[in-house]
Structure 1
Amino acid sequence: MATFIMLTRLSHQALRSPSSLESLSHEVMERIRADCKGVAWKASYVVLGPADYLDIFTAPDIEMATKVATIIRTFGHATTEVWGATEWEKFTELVRYLPPAPVAAISPN
């Protein structure tokens, strides 16, 4: 399973009131459960900054992650940004035996 991080920003048309966030979230998650088999939600956060939400989920492949983002965009009248992510332990295993960069490649001149 691949890990994905998604930033979401809702448009002002998506919500009639702040209390409607919970029902919108429920509708979106029901649709994802029905249409995106193999997707597992790991965490969701409300964030301060250019995005409203940060979600972490796993999916079998990039196509399924794209499907998740599309559902969220259509239900929430939102924009999404999806990043592939590698857990630190797995990353260190991947790079542990890579050869060092050639000296010329790291020289400032």
Structure 2
Amino acid sequence: MATYIMLTRLSPEALKRPESVVELNKQVAERIKRECPDVKWIANYAVLGPTDYVDVFEAHDPETATKISLLVRSFGHATTETWIATAWDRFAALAKTLK
């Protein structure tokens, strides 16, 4: 499985009642688990900066990663940006093959 990093930014409407963010997260997580049961969630963090959350997950293919992003956005409270990540040891091995 490939590793993906998803950056999520909440809309101002989602933060009108900050206590509701926990419930929204629960709803999103349940829907992802139901619709993408093979996805392995590695970590999620609330962060300071231009995004509100950083999520790390593994998926079998880019289409599944795209579906995760679409599911998060389908609730109408966030925008996302998703990146594929390469583990350092794999990156180093690839770099060694260059001439």
TM-score by length of 1: 0.85
How far apart in 1 are the matches of 2:73 and 2:31? 12
Structure 1 runs not aligned, ≥5 long = 100-109
Q: Distance in 2 between matches of 1:67 and 1:15?
A: 24
Contact 1:10 1:76 in 2 (8 A): no
Q: Are residue 67 (structure 1) and residue 67 (structure 2) matched?
A: yes
- Give the SS at the match of 1:14: helix
Counterpart in the other structure of 1:52: 52
Greater Rg over alpha carbons, structure: 1
Query: Which SS does the other structure have where 1:17 is aligned?
Result: coil
Equivalent AA in structure 2 for residue 71 of structure 1: L
Whole-angstrom CA distance in 2 between matches of 1:35 and 1:66: 12
1:40 is the counterpart of 2:32: no
Match of 1:89 in 2: 89
Question: Unaligned stretches of 5+ in structure 2?
Answer: none
In the other structure, the counterpart of 1:29 is 29
Task: Name the amino acid aligned to 1:43.
Answer: A
CA drift of 1:6 comes to 0.6
Greater mean alpha carbon deviation, residues 49-58 or residues 12-21: 12-21
Q: Secondary structure at the match of 2:75?
A: helix
Preserved contact between residue 41 and residue 57 of structure 1 (Cα < 8 Å): yes
Determine what percentage of the aligned residue pairs are the same residue: 54
**For residue 102 of structure 1, what is the aligned residue in structure 2?**
none
For normalisation by structure 2, the TM-score amounts to 0.93
SS in 1 for 2:21: helix
Report the aligned-residue RMSD. Answer: 1.2
